[in-house]
A and B are shown apart, each in its own frame.
Chain A
Amino acid sequence: MSHTLVIAELHEGKVRRSTLSAVTFARGISQPFDILVMGQGAASAAAGVVAFGAQKILVADDVSLANYICERFAPTVAAIGKGYKVIVATASSFGKDLAPRVAAKLSAGYAADLSAVRVEGDKLVYRRPVFAGNAYASCSITTPIHVVTVRQSEFGAAEPSGGASATETVAVQPADAAAARVEFLSLESTKSERPDLGEARVIVSGGRALKEQFAQVLDPLASLLGAAVGASRAACDAGYAAPELQVGQTGRIVAPNLYVAVGISGAIQHLAGMKGSKVIVAINKDPEAPIFQVADYGLVTDLFQAVPALVKGLA
């Protein structure tokens, strides 16, 4: 019996790459692990995770799982998960929605958004950011089963380790009674050729100062660098950028190799989402902007001049 159960997330018939962060966690505690691939089309999607060293890939494939609804997924995750010591998902919007409900079903403790884990004797000690990343807490879970979600920004995507895990079909449990009161209507996502914020090596991020020219100014730089585009809350609230681009304590938490903050003042909540980036560049005309306190390279100037010049300089 494996120790850890990794919950995979499906998207358009494939296992999302973000799942590989949960795999990194599972490998990190040096215990055998299985991966549960769940959703309509899981049987074919499972092929995407057979080469990561799991003991088994468990497949729960059913037409009732065509769209993610927590009340349909949680019963099966809990039924399978009760045979494990640790159940882990990546802290995506999927993981954060699902994992607590699973924990409640199993009367298990839940630790969210882990940034690290260490083994101390027979105990697992979890480390997680609190207060918008202004402090880190070490904690342990006191119940026999642990449910955790892990940060994609700190548990990098696992590389394939070769081999092929055995695949096993598992029974899909009946949905919660509450599922009868939830109806999936639509998932509207902006199609973008750019990398996902959680996976991008470079992010170009803009603030309210860009106004209606948000895309016009940032797109050439993002394209040149193969970057994802992010935004501050202020830019999203003002409608200059789509809400799903928001980086911050309550948006996406990112840690790319290079984060270029354009016209972002650097509110505490924004810094919480990006200060783990390896190299931070800030371009802002206000020399007192807090973003400069975390920037490796700060440029105090008018962004409307600087960004096109930067594109020219890097081309």
Chain B
Amino acid sequence: MKILVPLKRVADPDNANKVKVTAGKLDTTGMQWKPNPFDEYAVETALRLTENGASTKVRLGEVIVLTVGPKEAETQLRGALATGADRAIRIDATDDDLDGDVVARAIRAVVEKEKPDLILVGKQAVDGDSNQVGQLLAEYLGWPQATFAGTIKSEGDTALLVGREVDGGTLTLRVTLPAVVSVDLRIVAPTSVSSKHSPTHTYADGVRFAALMAIMAAKKKPMVEFKLSELVSDAAAKIAYTTHELPPPRKAGIKVKDVAELVDKLRNEARVV
């Protein structure tokens, strides 16, 4: 199976509360760039789907990672190559000029060249929180979409059983490839992804880490670059961000000394019970 995984870099999500607003613009100065966690999960999913239990050295298929962004975003692509992806594509662009729609249209152009069987994306980037690129891309390609995947079972690598995490439960779809699947948190649980050629061991919870040797080897893996203008003739964004602001601070609360005081406060001060 040939799998394409779009990957975005985001300002450190574990320090999202450190984001500042300077002159109406988001300011992430001092925050580290990290791969969007959901996209890392998509990479892990792609690696698991192409794992060959019989011969772990040879992947059954190919995993291509892609980003749309400046030269520095190659760091995150190299990180994915170090965990096992085969090659990388960077579409050169300035972050400020992009919206999810431009990104989806740029990826479409790459898909038309690469013809992958499956596109695995994170369900949302945790900076913009829009949750859109997978769905937009599926429509632009005329492919089926299966969003918010918590489980994936490959059926002979021609179709996937996808357990979608939806409000109030799990919705299971069978999608015939090629398709776009966006992944949710629990896709990296030990037994969430399986195929006939999966290894017999169970995976550790979460994404795999790169060994030092693999980090060195990743520097030699292929990385090609496209210009955004080569792929998208009209790169105008459809959404214009004007200003940003920080949320109003929550007023400081109090510590109560015991359950009795809590009950009293809830009844007589907050009046919510």
> B-contacting residues of A (Cβ < 8 Å)?
68-71, 74, 92-94, 96-97, 99-101, 103-105, 107-113, 125, 128-143, 176-179, 181-190, 196, 198, 202, 225, 233, 236-237, 243-244, 246, 249-250, 252, 257-258, 268-269, 272, 275, 278-281, 292, 294-301, 306, 309-310, 313-314
Interface of A is mostly: mixed
Q: Is the CB of A299 within 8 A of B242?
A: no
Chain B, range 239-268, C-beta contacts under 8 Å to A: 239-247, 250-251, 253-256, 258-260, 262-263, 265-266
Contact assessment for B272 and A185 in the assembled complex, using a CB-CB cutoff below 8 Å: no
Question: What residues of chain B lie closer than 8 Å to A269, measured between beta carbons?
Answer: 13, 126
Q: Is B128 an interface residue (CB 8 A)?
A: yes
Q: Is B101 an interface residue (CB 8 A)?
A: yes
How many whole Å from B199's CB to the nearest CB in chain A? Answer: 22
Q: Known: A268-B17, A299-B255. Contact between A141 and B238, CB under 8 A?
A: yes
Closest approach, in angstroms, between the C-beta of B272 and any C-beta of chain A? 4
Q: Which residues of A contact B247 (CB under 8 A)?
A: 129, 133-136
Query: Which residue of B13, B135, B169 is within 8 Å of A101 (Cβ)?
Result: B135
7 shortest interchain CB distances as A-B pairs: A189-B169, A109-B238, A100-B135, A104-B139, A313-B263, A181-B176, A93-B166
Interface centre among A110, A177, A246 (most CB of B within 10 A): A110
Contact A257 B272 (CB under 8 A): yes
Known: A99-B135, A101-B145, A182-B173. 15 other contacts (CB 8 A): A93-B165, A133-B247, A135-B246, A136-B247, A139-B242, A142-B236, A142-B239, A176-B142, A187-B170, A236-B186, A243-B186, A244-B170, A268-B16, A299-B262, A313-B263
Known pairs A135-B21, A190-B169, A297-B270; A281 contacts B239 (CB<8 A): no
Q: In the assembled complex, which residues on chain B have CB atoms less than 8 Å from the CB atom of A141?
A: 238-240
Q: List 17 A-B contacts (CB under 8 A).
A: A71-B145, A100-B135, A101-B145, A104-B136, A134-B19, A135-B245, A140-B240, A141-B239, A182-B174, A188-B171, A189-B168, A237-B205, A257-B272, A268-B13, A268-B14, A269-B13, A299-B262
**Contacts between chains A and B (CB distance < 8 A), count:** 269
The answer to whether A132 and B129 touch across the interface, beta carbons within 8 angstroms, is: yes
Shortest B230–chain A CB gap in Å is 21
List residues of B whose CB falls within 8 A of some A CB.
11, 13-17, 19, 21, 26, 38, 99-101, 104, 123-124, 126-132, 135-136, 138-140, 142-148, 150, 161, 164-177, 179, 184-186, 189, 205, 236-247, 250-251, 253-256, 258-260, 262-263, 265-266, 270, 272-273
Are the CB atoms of B144 and A71 closer together than 8 Å?
Answer: yes
Whether A131 and B175, one on each chain, are in contact in the complex, defined by CB atoms closer than 8 angstroms, is no
B136 lies within 8 A of A100 (CB): yes
Q: How far is the CA of A177 from the CA of B139 in the complex (A)?
A: 11
Q: How far is the CA of A236 from the CA of B254 in the complex (A)?
A: 29
Contact A252 B101 (CB under 8 A): no
Within 8 Å CB of A182, what residues of B? 144, 146, 173-176
Q: How far does the alpha carbon of A132 sit from the alpha carbon of B245 in the complex, in Å?
A: 13
Q: Which of A96, A100, A181 has the most CB of B within 10 A?
A: A100
Residue of B nearest to A280 (CB): B253
A134-B17, A137-B244, A279-B272 as given contacts; A101 in contact with B136, CB under 8 Å = yes
What's the nearest-Cβ distance from chain B to residue A228, in Å? 11
Given contacts A110-B101, A196-B168, whether A131 and B129 have CB atoms under 8 Å apart is yes
Closest Cβ neighbor of B14 among chain A residues: A268
| Complex partner residue of B148 from A97, A108, A139, A143, CB under 8 angstroms | A97
A93 in contact with B167 (CB, 8 Å): yes
Assuming the contacts A93-B167, A139-B241, A188-B170, asked whether A181 and B179 have C-beta atoms less than 8 A apart, the reply is yes
- Are the CB atoms of A250 and B123 closer together than 8 Å? yes
CA distance A275 to B130 in the complex (A): 19
User: Smallest distance from the beta carbon of A89 to chain B beta carbons, Å?
Assistant: 12
What CA separation (Å) do A309 and B256 show in the bound complex?
A: 14
Cβ of B171 and Cβ of A132 under 8 Å apart? no
**Min CB distance, A301 to chain B, in Å?**
8
CB pair A187–B171 under 8 Å, yes or no, is: yes
Q: Which residues of A contact B250 (CB under 8 A)?
A: 275, 294
